[in-house]
């Protein structure tokens, strides 16, 4: 179970308990809440609760996209190889259409834009720290403040 280790520098290091890491790694291996529940001998709703935590989801996504053909470096190398082979094929046959190559290049461009958009969405979802300061002196400068001052300072009539 512990053959998958969190070693990526792409995401901030999010604190995870050893239990969360164990459930996350089991989910990566088995890919199903029921299987994870069965193999770790815990209730399915607990598995779901753990894998739905932000830090666990981030870990699972990072591992998923860093391995195999989903790894962006490996994927880019394969796309480069496909483009190079298309160009070589075109030169050898001396018969080709620019449309074939343009379709591949436009597909690569679209995929890159989707990846950039996803990475921007990830950075937006990260928690940020903000301190709000509110100063209450009187009722403010606007019409409401003037009205409240007038009402409270006016002499009472009996």
- Read off the pLDDT of residues 11-34 as tens digits, 9 standing for 90 and up: 445 588 889 999 999 998 888 899
Contact status, residue 55 vs residue 14, Cβ threshold 8 Å:
yes
- Report how far residue 57's alpha carbon sits from residue 62's, in angstroms, rounded to the nearest whole number: 8
Q: For the full predicted model, state whether its pTM sits above 0.95.
A: no
pLDDT of residue 23: 93
Six token digits for residue 66? 């860093």
d(CA 50, CA 42) in angstroms, rounded, equals 11
Ranges of residues in the chain whose predicted pLDDT is under 70? 1-14, 68-70, 121-128, 135-140, 154-158
């Amino acid at each position: 179970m512990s053959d998958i280790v969190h070693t990526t520098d792409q995401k901030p290091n999010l604190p995870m308990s050893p239990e969360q890491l164990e459930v996350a790694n089991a989910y990566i291996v088995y890919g199903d809440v029921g299987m994870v529940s069965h193999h770790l001998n815990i209730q399915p709703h607990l598995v779901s609760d753990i894998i739905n935590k932000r830090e666990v989801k981030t870990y699972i996504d990072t591992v998923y996209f860093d391995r195999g053909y989903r790894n962006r470096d490996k994927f880019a190398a394969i796309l480069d190889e496909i483009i190079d082979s298309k160009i070589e094929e075109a030169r050898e046959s001396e018969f080709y259409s620019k449309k074939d190559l343009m379709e591949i290049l436009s597909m690569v461009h679209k995929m890159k834009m989707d990846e950039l958009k996803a990475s921007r969405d990830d950075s937006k979802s990260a928690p940020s720290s903000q301190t709000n300061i509110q100063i209450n002196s009187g009722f403010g400068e606007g019409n409401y403040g003037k009205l409240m001052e007038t009402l409270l300072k006016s002499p009472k009539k009996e």
